[in-house]
Every structure is written in structure tokens, then in C-alpha cells.
Amino acid sequence: TERKKLHTAPVRQIFRLRPFHVLVATGGGYVGYRKYEDYRLEELEKRGIEVPVKLASEWEVALYKSVPTRLLSRAWGRLNQVELPTWLRKPVYSLYIWTFGVNMKEAAVEDLHHYRNLSEFFRRKLKPQARPVCCLHSVISPSDGKILNFGQVKNCEVEQVKGVTYSLESFLGPRVNTEELRFRQASPGNSFQQQLVTKEGNELYHCVIYLAPGDYHCFHSPTDWRVSHRRHFPGSLMSVNPGVARWIKELFCHNERVVLTGDWKHGFFSLTAVGATNVGSIRIYFDQDLHTNSPSYSKGSYNDFSFISNNNKEGIPMRKGEHLGEFNLGSTIVLIFEAPKDFNFHLKAGQKIRFGEALGSL
């Protein structure tokens, strides 16, 4: 009896004092299982087999959220800043290039020894001729990536992938002050979607672009517009790959994101950069006050910043193709904008696209 007590007491103590480790291990194992499921679904889709949508339950989402992805992303961000010895740079970057299919011939500097750390390598610039900006179409792709979904916004909901939606108001947050955005006066009975449309006869459109780790990590202005407001939502940093986007409803509303809103020649225009696992930072070049992935935040909170001031009545003007910001690794960009009814997308769901190529036009 004494021996049993001697052997079992430490076990009880471990489970009593370290439940966090058990939770993380369980959550990490489940995420690994989901990654395998994502891979299996992608293989089925390649064969042309349609996969039915199966959404995660509340406990599955809670289990996924138990994994400390924010902490891991901050650790990854710090690791990216560590300067690598010159002899180690080529093997490390070559492994990344081989794993994710990076085309270094497009890089402004092809010599791998030039990049002192992973962060510099991820943020590498491209040769000017590598991404010609299309001048014939009104909206271009702001980044390299994969088209997950596009089309008209209907019933105040947006599709993140086919068959899985999220609330437009939950994603963008409450309507911004009418003094900053040129909205028409909202009627009490108007829906959130109707309040965003400024001109009679216009519709609200959306486009979702997924940036894989091997894609070009910077994003640019998709059209000529002015940015008048920034809204930052702290949140989770779950993976945003197509498999997870198909599995978790309102995934983009759970994750940290930066919403830039303003207007273009046809009315309301917004670009949202959505954070993801290992995306330790979302950077907007003209916004020095923005700090993402902080150690703590209040659930459901957000903070606003206006670019309209007494000295600057017009906000931040952006030209089509101009540098706008960057991700630390890879993530998702969501465009939601107003346009006339004859606006047409020149896209196919699932297609690969590069920065500068046409999204759509009138």
C-alpha cells in the first residue's frame, strides 16, 4: 500500500498542477488530425470529387482555440528576427523554397546570402517587371494567392468558401462615422448591407484571396481609392487555409484582422488583412500606430483610428498597385466594395492569381 501511494502521488500531482500542458497537447494533436483531414480533402477535390461541407462544432472550435497560437506566432516572429550565420542562410532558405515552391527568379535580389534573417527573406521585394499592373480593369488583385470566393454580398452574409458564410457586420464591425465615410443617411429599417451602399442602383461585392506561405507576402492597393479609417480587431490566430475555412464557420470573424475602409469612384471600398497562425504581424506602411498580436486583449474588442483630421480632410490617397502593407508569413485578404450592377469579375473559384492581374471591371 505504501508503495502504491509513493508511485501514484506524483501522477496525481502532475495532472493537478499542469492541466494547461494536457490541454495544449490535446489541442495540438487534434489540429494535427485536422491537417491530415485537410490534405485528404484537397486530394479528393483534385480528383474532381465534390466534398460535402462539414462544420466544426462549438467544442471543436474551443479545442482548436486552446492551442496558444498567439504565443507561438509571437515566438515565430522573434525567431524570424534572429540573424543567421552566412553559411547557414542558403541551406535554410533553400529548404523553404523547395517546400513551398518559391520562385526566386522573380526576387529583386536572388542571392540567398543577402537575406540576414527569415523576416527579410519573407519580405523580399520583386523585380519591377515581375508583376505588371493591369491598367485596363478597375480592380486588380492586391497580392499573389488563391481565389477562395467572390461575387455579390447577399442577405448581409459573405462566403469565405463555397457553402460557408460569415456575418458582414460581425466581420467589419459597427458602421463607421458618416463624417469619415461618404455614406448616405441610413433609414431605420435599412440593413447593415444597405447602409454601406452609397449610390442608388449599386450592389455590394466581395472577393477572398488566400496567401499561401510560398506566395509573395506584400500586398498593394487594388484600385485608386482613399483610406479614411482603420479598425483593428485583436483575436485568435487560427489557420486560414481553405480546409480550415471550409470547416470553421465565421473563421475570419474569430481571427485578428485589420479593416481599412474608405471610398473609390463608385462608393464604399474596404480591404481587410486577416491574421493567421505564425502571422506574427500585419503591417500597414502608412500606419505607424498599428501593433498586432499583442500579448493580451479583450474578447470581442476592437480599436478605431481615423485618418481624417483638421490638417488632412481627404485621408490617405492610394493609387492602384501602390505598396500598402505586408504579412509576416501568409494569410488572407478580403475585399468588400460597392460598384454598379454591371460590375463583372474575371475569375474562377480556386484559381491562382498574382498581384497586378485583373479581378474585375465595369
Cell of 179: 463624417
The residue annotated as part of the active site, out of 206, 217, 220, 229, is: 220
- 287 is annotated as an active-site residue: no
The residue annotated as part of the active site, out of 144, 215, 263, 287, is: 144
Give the span between the Cα atoms of 138 and 2, in whole angstroms. Answer: 80
CA proximity to 124, closest of 337, 327, 358? 327
- 144 is annotated as an active-site residue: yes
- 220 is annotated as an active-site residue: yes
By CB neighbour count within 10 A (0-12 exposed, 13-18 middle, 19+ buried), where does 175 fall?
A: middle
The residue annotated as part of the active site, out of 143, 270, 281, 331, is: 331
CA angle 167, 173, 178 (to 5 degrees): 125
Contacts of 279 (CB under 8 A, 6+ apart): 73, 237, 293, 327, 328, 329, 330, 331
CA angle 159, 164, 276 (to 5 degrees): 80
CA proximity to 112, closest of 97, 130, 128, 129? 97
Give the span between the Cα atoms of 110 and 89, in whole angstroms. Answer: 13
Amino acid identity, position 298:
S
Contacts of 12 (CB under 8 A, 6+ apart): none
State the catalytic residues. 144, 220, 331
